[in-house]
Amino acid sequence: MNCLKAEEQFSAYLEDELDYQAVKAFEAHLSPCESCRREFALFRESLDLLHQLPQIELSTEFDIALQVRLADAQVEPIPFWQRVLRPLHGQTRLALSGIAVLLVMVAGTYLYQRALVKPKSVEITVAPETSRRVPFAEGRRVQWRRQQFPLAVPSREPQSLVNFPESSAFDLQPVRRSQQPQRLEQNYILQTINYTEAPTGGGL
């Protein structure tokens, strides 16, 4: 046993918590080790000092102050809605409660209806390729969606035209830009939402 190990067993030795072998080992170390003997004596003395600390007495106000605090703790906190409704008279309170219930019912029905009315089927119509603008259909909800389709590839004007000899068997004419087929950069899809099949859900 070294000094550090002996120090770890100071409390256990004092409180008689070591077994026989451990006690023998502890005493065998302490008896020749003057430093440990001195430290152990100091350990005991400081513990004696700690145990001699006087008891702190209570002040005379302790009991009264505690009774007041305990009485406060016994009072249950009043819920918010009770604090609001308590000052009102019977009929007013009843009327306000009725209005509140009615409002909740109306709001609930409205939200229920709104959740039910959803488009069931969507009819998709492809717009004419050449036209960029399609007049809105009256009475219908029209939605435009930009699409990047492969057919919408912009064409470039040729840098130079090939000049064939006049005697060529091919009677080719340079293609003018105005004669090129008109191509669109993008197409539009007209979505017409058909409300005829949407469920009404009943009610309002």
Partner 1 sequence: MPDLDDELMKQCQQGDIEAFDLIVRRNQVPLVNFIARFLGNPDAAEDLAQETFVRMFKVIKRYKSGAAKFSTWMYHIASNLCKNELRNRGRRGRFFVDNVITEPSLGPESTKEDLIATAPADVSLQPGNQLERKEREHAVQSAISELPERYRLPLILRDLQELSYEEISETLILPLGTTKSRINRARLMLKDKLRSFVESS
What's the token pair of residue 125? 């119509």
Kindly report the length of the chain: 204
Phi, psi torsion values for 88, nearest 5 degrees: -80, 155
Nearer to partner 1, 15 or 166 (CB): 15
- Cα(23)–Cα(119) distance, integer angstroms: 88
Least Cβ distance, residue 115 to partner 1 (angstroms): 43
Q: Please, which residue, 51 or 177, has the CB nearer to partner 1?
A: 51
Contacts with partner 1 by CB under 8 A lie at: 7-8, 10-12, 39, 42-43, 45-47, 49-59, 62, 65-66, 69-70, 73-74
Considering beta carbons, is residue 44 or 141 the nearer one to partner 1?
44
* Minimum CB distance to partner 1, residue 13 (Å): 10
How many Å apart are CA 106 and CA 157, to the nearest integer? 65
Nearest distance in Å: CB 73, partner 1: 5
Question: In which order are the strands placed within the sheet that holds 122-126?
Answer: 122-126, 187-193, 142-147
Shortest distance, position 56 Cβ to partner 1, whole Å: 5
Give residues with Cβ within 8 angstroms of 161, minimum separation 6: 174, 175
Q: What is the DSSP letter of 127?
A: P
Residue whose CB is less far from partner 1, 39 or 129:
39
